[in-house]
Every structure is written in C-alpha cells, then in structure tokens.
A and B are shown apart, each in its own frame.
Chain A
Amino acid sequence: MSATLDDLSLGRPSLSRAQLPSWALGVTAAGVLVLTGLLRLVTHMSSYVALAIIAVALYLVAQTVVSLSVEGWRHAKNRLMTSLMLAAMVLAVLPLVGVLGYTVAKGLKRFDSAFFTHSMRAVAESDPNGGAYHAIIGTLEQVGIAALISVPFGIMVAVYLVEYSAGRLGRVVSFFVDVMTGLPSIVAGLFILALWVLALHQGTSGFAGSLALVILMLPTIVRSCEEMLKLVPPSLREASYALGVAKWITVVRIVLPTALPGIVTGVMLAVARVMGETAPVLLTVFGNSAINTNPFNGPQASLPLFVFNEVGQSFDNAVNRAWTGALVLILIVLVLNLIARTVARFARVRG
C-alpha cells in the first residue's frame, strides 16, 4: 500500500540543487554575440534591427537549453519567462525614450529666447527667427479655461455618482460618461463649431476651443475621480457619520482629501491629453500668426496648431520651429505635472 503512495508522491528531492555558475549566462551572451557576428559575415545581412532580433531569439534559446541541462525544467521556464518579460518591457520603453530623445535633440536648435518672446507676425516661413510666444499664450489660456470649467464640474459629477446616486440615473450617467471617454476629438470640435461658432454666431475664439476641450476632459476627470472616490474605505465615511458629522461635510473634509492624490493624477492625465489636441482646436480656435491675448475674441494660436502649421512648410527653419514647439509642449505638461504633485503632497501634510 505504502509503496504505491510513494510512487504517486513527488518524491523527496534533495533540498540543494545544481545552480548555473554566475559566469554561465555571460558566456552564453558572448557566444550568441559571436554567432550573430559570424552570421553577418556569412550572409552580409545589413539590417541591425533584424540582427538584434536574431540575437535576442538566439539568446533566449541558448539560455533555456543551458539552464535546462544544468538546473532542470522549472528553472529553465522561470528564466525564459523572466527574459521574455524583460524584453517586452524594453520594447515598450524604446519608442517612448526614442520620441523624447529625438524631440529634445531636434527641438534644442531653436530653444532660444527669441522663440519665447516673438510671434510669427511678419515673419516669413523661410526666416530663421520668429517664435511661439503667441502659441504658448494661446495654449495656456485655452487649456487653463478648459481646466477651470471641467475640474470642479467633473469632481462634482464624480461625487454625485459615488456618494449620492443610488438608482437608475447614476447608472445612466455613468454609462454615458464611459461612452464619452472614447469620443473622437474631431467630433467634439465639430460639435462646438456647429453649435457655438456657427449656430450661435460666436465666431472662432480661444474660448470656443476651451469648450471643445471641456467636452474631451470631462469624461476623463469624472471617470478617474469616480475610481479614486470608490477606493476611499467605507469605514472612514462611517467613522465620520458616527461622530455626528453631516454627509456633505464628510464628503468635503474626509472623502475628498483622502482621495486627493489620485484625483490630482487623474486631472493631470486629462490636462495632458487635451494639451496636444490639434483637430478640435483647428476647427474652433482657427489659428493666428499674431499675438492675441484675449481668449474671448478672435482667432488665437495654440502650440499643437503651431507645430502642425510649421511642420507642413518646406523650409528647414520652419521645421526646426515645429520641433521646438513640440518640445515646449512636452515641457509644459511635465512642469504642470510636477507642480500638481508637489501641491498634492503639501496638501496632505497635517499638524
């Protein structure tokens, strides 16, 4: 009887096991590199991308074989999966680093004081001077107004959905917020163009652009705030109610501060998303080569529009301006992010 049981059990392996020496993987990698080099000599393959892919594939196979022969199946699988995930991570980060690096390299050429102090008024596209002052002002004003409208609005909708709605209305609103999250930005632009600019005869202006951006920001803010408010433990609300604190004070003084860091992140994602929107801005703000500081009257410029216009020109000077414009756009998002995070951190420290 006991013999059969022993046969079925996993046995009693020794607690220690054979391990790959620390130099083994290095040697494997070196071998793979040599092999790839030989391959290049023999076949005269010139594509480095193809060679890199072959080298990685070879390494994965070689590592698995080496590990299998010394350490056994479980460790071979472990090493293979770890390497695959590492490769996936590198593959995902490469384009990101590439975009950033390329933009910085290209954008630094015109990253000078003239770029930040001059507009494109009376500047020919082929000229080496000119700047994006008008576009930076336009973007900051349009996105600023859009954020001023949609942040309080969005937070209030999220608070309603999480704290107050119990029935069908909440579910319906929630559903439409989800649908609107996927709204193509050009549709938001067309809607404002048709309603505000044309039907109501308001004309193109920075504010019209802000309205289009509000339509795009609102669902993102509502959704992320909703998730963050749901994460606040119900026990905190109960603790507050049990102290005889009214519901709205509980929401404002307990729930919202607890969820604040997450809400800030959500708002920043929404701001970053609309900061680079070009299509709706093109339809509603129209673009302007001169400085217009009034967002409520007449066409304005904006950074995405500026980049779009400049990159379409056939002059190197214009394309250089476009790269610097893109770099400034990235920097603005970065700086806003840092500011928001710092504010959120200081808002949390108490006592």
Chain B
Amino acid sequence: MAKRLDVKDLNLYYGKFHAVADVNLSVPPRSVTAFIGPSGCGKSTVLRSLNRMHEVTPGARVEGKVTLDGEDIYATAVDPVVVRRTIGMVFQRPNPFPTMSIRDNVVAGLRLSGVRDRKRMDEVAERALRSANLWEEVRDRLGKPGGGLSGGQQQRLCIARAIAVRPDVLLMDEPCSALDPISTLAIEDLIGELKKDYTIVIVTHNMQQAARVSDQTAFFNLKGAGLPGNLIEIDDTEKIFSNPGRKATEDYISGRFG
C-alpha cells in the first residue's frame, strides 16, 4: 500500500498543442499533495498523466518519466489497465454508473475485473463505504440505483468505488468543485483519514482547501495564452502559503496578479 510517485521531465501534448512543459516533482507515500493554479494551466492534465488517463484522449501524448516506487509506468511492457488499478482516480463531477445499484457501483472495479465471490464483494462494499463515510447513509438502500443519491453522497460513492479496488495512490481532480460546503467538509475529513493508507494527489481551485488538507502544494502557472503550462514551485504547504519562494506564487495565493 501507499507508494511514492516521482515525475521527471514530464511534457504533455494534445496533438500538436504543448499543454504542459518540464514538470519535475515527487509525491511521498501517505501524504496529500495539492495542485493549485489558474484554469488551463495543466494541473488536471498532469494529474491524468499520473495514471495514464491522459492518453485516453485522442491525440494526447506523453514524454518523460513517471515512476511508482521506482517502476516506470510508461515503460513499454507496462499495461495501462494494471497501472489504473494501482493508481485510482476520482473525477470533478460525480459519475456513478447509472445502470448499477449502490452496492454494484462500489464493487464495480472488482466485478468488471472478473471477481465473482458475492460474499467477499459484500464485505469489500461495506468496508469501502465505511471508509468513505457513506455506510450509515446508504446501508438500507444498497440495492437502489446510485444516481438517486445527492451530489455529495454520489461523490463519496465514487471515492468508495475508487478505494474498493485497494489502489496504492488516489488521484482526485477537483473532487469538491460541484459540492456544497457541508459535503465538501465531509470529503475533506475523509481525505484526512485516507491519508493514513494512501498516497493522495488532489487538484483544487480552492486555496483554503489546499491549505487545509495538503502536506505539500504544487503551484502551476501559464506564461501566456497558447504557451504550455509549467510547474512554478512545489514545497511544504505551510511554506507555500506563508513564505513562497517565487513571486508568481505569492501573487496568486494572495489574489494579486500581474
């Protein structure tokens, strides 16, 4: 469980468009790393390259190295399907499978990978739902469709689904941006608990959130329209928010631009 991620000289492209240039960073195990920065600077693109979801977009290309405990996930012999089983992901908008019940949604990763043992899946479903702080709310309606839950519950269902396959790393792409403050709080508390077992990388537009949940923060920026985004700096969250090394970072987190 909980492995370390290292990114070296990462360049990402959409067709001819150079989206992100020269990213170098390390994510230690059992920690939360937050990506912040203005829209369009490539935070989500970098996040998606960490479990090979970037290449799902037609024309998308990756250069550079991403290693999981020293193993290059972009090596030719590596199966992207196995990478994604090891590095899970939660998306911006809750996306439970509409044709499945709550229980089936949680164990979808197992079921679709060929696990048939009903009893074991029930156990996994309960454990994952408990970890996602959703068990008490849905224990009586596990057979109901997942789409009937509220937005915050759906997002926690998606987190339960992601951790049910026991990944080593959990990537979260603005997991609270579609949620109200109460649900956001629930998910932030959850991130704090999940940190004990998982390596977590979270993209967020909410700087207070980054300050609250993360151990280290990476600031991405864009030099100009049409230019690739890049990593300005990455450091301990406390340092980024109190005494950042670069002026651009300070301007961004204090709300001053240019």
A positions within 8 Å CB-CB of B? 166, 233, 235-247, 249-250, 253-254, 257-258, 260, 348, 350-351
Query: What are the 3 tightest A-B residue pairs by CB atom distance, in nearest-first order?
Result: A244-B85, A351-B143, A351-B101
Contact partner of A245 among B93, B101, B109, CB < 8 A?
A: B109
**Judging by beta carbons under 8 Å apart, are B104 and A350 in contact?**
yes
- A243 in contact with B99 given A235-B91, A235-B93, A238-B91 (CB within 8 Å): no
**Judging by beta carbons under 8 Å apart, are A236 and B95 in contact?**
yes
Per-residue interface assignment for chain B, residues 34 to 78, with 1 indicating a CB less than 8 Å from any chain A CB and 0 otherwise: 000000000000000001010010100000000000000000000
A262, chain B: closest CB distance, angstroms: 13
**Judging by beta carbons under 8 Å apart, are A245 and B53 in contact?**
no
**Judging by beta carbons under 8 Å apart, are B97 and A254 in contact?**
yes
Residues of chain B contacted by A257 (CB below 8 angstroms): 99
**Judging by beta carbons under 8 Å apart, are B142 and A351 in contact?**
yes
**Judging by beta carbons under 8 Å apart, are B93 and A243 in contact?**
no
**Judging by beta carbons under 8 Å apart, are A244 and B86 in contact?**
yes
- A243 in contact with B142 given A238-B95, A350-B99 (CB within 8 Å): no
Contact partner of B81 among A237, A238, A244, A351, CB < 8 A?
A: A244
- A243 in contact with B162 given A351-B101, A351-B104 (CB within 8 Å): yes
Residues of chain B contacted by A249 (CB below 8 angstroms): 112-113
A-B contact pairs, 30 of them (CB 8 A): A235-B91, A238-B53, A239-B91, A239-B95, A239-B96, A239-B161, A240-B108, A241-B56, A241-B81, A241-B84, A242-B51, A242-B88, A243-B88, A243-B108, A243-B109, A243-B165, A244-B83, A245-B81, A245-B109, A245-B113, A246-B81, A246-B113, A249-B112, A258-B97, A258-B98, A258-B99, A350-B143, A351-B102, A351-B103, A351-B145
**Judging by beta carbons under 8 Å apart, are A239 and B86 in contact?**
no
Of B103, B113, B144, which is in contact with the most chain A CB atoms at under 10 Å from its CB?
B113
**Judging by beta carbons under 8 Å apart, are A166 and B109 in contact?**
no
Per-residue interface assignment for chain B, residues 161 to 172, with 1 indicating a CB less than 8 Å from any chain A CB and 0 otherwise: 110010000000
CA distance A138 to B47 in the complex (A): 60
CA distance A246 to B114 in the complex (A): 11
